[in-house]
Amino acid sequence: MNVLLIGSGGREHALARAIANSPLLTKLFVAPGNPGTAESGENVVIDVANHRAVLDFCRLMKVGFVVVGPEGPLVAGLADDLRAGGVKVFGHGKAAAQLEGSKAFTKMICDEAHIPTAAYGRFRDAASAKTYVGQHGAPIVVKYDGLAAGKGVVVATTVAEAESAIDDMFAGQFGDAEVVIEEFMEGEEVSFFALVHGEQVLPLAAAQDHKRVGDGDTGPNTGGMGAYSPAPVFTDALQADVMERIIRPTARVMAAKGMPCSGVLFAGLMITRDGPRLIEYNARFGDPECQVLMLRLRDDLLTLLLACADGQLDKVSVRFRPEPALTVVMAARGYPGEPMKGTDIRGLEKASAMEGVTVFHAGTTMNAGKLLANGGRVLNVSATGATVAEARARAYEAVDAIDWPEGFCRRDIAWRAMEAS
């Protein structure tokens, strides 16, 4: 079967590598892809915002299955339009993608499905939002309702900070705003992934991400500076609990509302003293969490994604290797602000040849045979090992073998797992 994968990040490089290993695959196309995905398939230029153009490409190239990596195309309804055109898709329709696209929508689903989550209020003007903050006090969390690339959330430690975040959000920084204000939840964060089709669910695995740019979880939030899996805090019992109290009820309510899920649900969880609570949903795999999940996956990814699209999740099972996988994000200087672009990266071959090491491309480009940085998060230097410590030592050895003076990374990825072991 010919497959088209949409996206261009490290997540898509990891997915491309796994799909390329499938006995079911004839040919893999990636739109637009990156220099990493070019090693697993053929990168193609398609205007993904033009759903007709994607459909035409599928017909021309006899693509039988489209896998959508990022949330943007899902929220824009690409999966619906492809399905309407007779093409099989891994990825939620527009209605279900609201679970990522709108925090207010997710809160409504949580209410209906009685899912444990933070108490909240929704506001369309600054004055009533501030009144709510005044009533509840700090710490408190202020969220812009809509896609804001991870930058629409302010965890305010003081009332003044919350008020200034409210002012920013209503001042047009993100356009016409609705703001969700939430109770601050304390605990350890986990990214958990499950495949969902209608009411069918298949748990995958959990990972932990590092959102802050600096060592010791300091500095501004990013898309994620590193991840590892498994997450020691996420026991089998906790997973079963999350499936029963969070994932299944979500699948059920979404299906009952005529907005069935079909794709991966990424539950951002807070493991609190009172048990797991939902922070947010994403309608896609996490980046860089996907990279470590794919390194641990033992079964054929394409078979699993097809089973999800076909509503056959009850007919498949999935196994992950118990050995830990870890990834270190190398970012370009300036990130998460304006990153420096066009700088030379050398030494990837040497790093990739190291034992247990895989380097995923996230924001790179090839120019006249030279590999250049072309984004904020540029490389995901990943490794597996018998222990987290071994995986971590291998990943950092590989980082040190990469010659890219304009790049930087956190040096403490997986510190929680190291303390737990």
Which residues sit at the interface with ligand GLY, rule CB under 6 A?
209, 223-224, 282, 286-287, 289
- Candidate residues 105, 174, 184, 320; the one interacting with ligand AMP per rule CB under 6 A: 184
Span from 56-64, 178-186, 246-254, 324-332 in contact with ligand AMP (CB under 6 A): 178-186
Q: Which does 76 bind (CB under 5 to 8 A by kind): ligand GLY, ligand AMP, none?
A: none
Q: Which does 289 bind (CB under 5 to 8 A by kind): ligand AMP, ligand GLY, none?
A: ligand GLY
Window 85-144: residues binding ligand AMP (CB under 6 A): 118, 141
Which tokens hold the place of 353?
Answer: 């040849």
Binding mask 187-226 for ligand AMP (x = CB under 6 A): --x---------------------x---------------
Q: Which does 418 bind (CB under 5 to 8 A by kind): ligand AMP, ligand GLY, none?
A: none
Which tokens hold the place of 315?
Answer: 């007919």
CB of 31 or CB of 207, closer to ligand GLY: 207
- Residue 313 touches ligand AMP, criterion: CB under 6 A: no
- Residue 1 touches ligand AMP, criterion: CB under 6 A: no
- Residue 178 touches ligand AMP, criterion: CB under 6 A: no
By CB under 6 A, the count of residues binding ligand AMP is 14
Q: Which does 280 bind (CB under 5 to 8 A by kind): ligand AMP, ligand GLY, none?
A: ligand AMP
Query: Alpha-carbon distance 84 to 113, whole Å?
Result: 29
CB of 70 or CB of 88, closer to ligand GLY: 70
Q: Which does 279 bind (CB under 5 to 8 A by kind): ligand AMP, ligand GLY, none?
A: ligand AMP
Whether residue 70 is preceded by a cis peptide bond, meaning omega within 30 degrees of 0, is: no
Query: Alpha-carbon distance 94 to 263, whole Å?
Result: 12
DSSP state of 375: S
| DSSP labels, 309-361 | HHT-GGG----B-SS-EEEEEEEETTTTSS---S-B-B-HHHHHTSTTEEEEE
- Residue 323 touches ligand AMP, criterion: CB under 6 A: no
* Phi, psi for residue 302 in degrees, rounded to 5: -60, -40
Nearest approach, Cβ of residue 87 and ligand GLY (Å): 26
Residue 226 CB neighbour total at 10 angstroms? 29
* Phi, psi for residue 55 in degrees, rounded to 5: -65, -45
* Packing angle, helices 248-256 and 103-113, rounded to 10: 100
Burial class (CB in 10 A: 0-12, 13-18, 19+), 396: middle
Which tokens hold the place of 156?
Answer: 């305010």
| Residue from 65, 20, 60 nearest 40 by CA | 20
CB of 22 or CB of 327, closer to ligand GLY: 327
Whether residue 230 is preceded by a cis peptide bond, meaning omega within 30 degrees of 0, is: yes
Q: Which does 358 bind (CB under 5 to 8 A by kind): ligand GLY, ligand AMP, none?
A: none
Nearest approach, Cβ of residue 290 and ligand GLY (Å): 8
Binding mask 261-300 for ligand AMP (x = CB under 6 A): -------x----------xx--------------------
CB of 185 or CB of 283, closer to ligand AMP: 185
Largest Cα–Cα separation, the chain: 60
6 neighbors 70 (Cβ within 8 angstroms): yes
CB of 36 or CB of 72, closer to ligand AMP: 72
Q: Which does 100 bind (CB under 5 to 8 A by kind): ligand GLY, ligand AMP, none?
A: none
CB of 222 or CB of 374, closer to ligand AMP: 222
- Residue 71 touches ligand AMP, criterion: CB under 6 A: no
**Beta-bridge partner residues of 4:** 29, 66
Name every residue whose Cβ is closer than 8 Å to that of residue 415 and which is 6 or more positions away in sequence.
none
Q: Which does 224 bind (CB under 5 to 8 A by kind): ligand AMP, ligand GLY, none?
A: ligand GLY
What's at 155, amino acid-wise? V
Q: Which does 184 bind (CB under 5 to 8 A by kind): ligand GLY, ligand AMP, none?
A: ligand AMP
Helix (H, G, I), strand (E, B) or coil at 179: strand
Query: Alpha-carbon distance 377 to 382, whole Å?
Result: 14
What's at 192, amino acid-wise? F
| DSSP labels, 68-137 | E-SHHHHHTTHHHHHHHTT-EEES--HHHHHHHH-HHHHHHHHHHHT--B--EEEESSHHHHHHHHHHH-
Report the residue number whose CB is nearest to ligand GLY: 224
Residues of this chain that interact with ligand AMP (CB under 6 A) are 118, 141, 150, 153, 155, 182-185, 189, 211, 268, 279-280
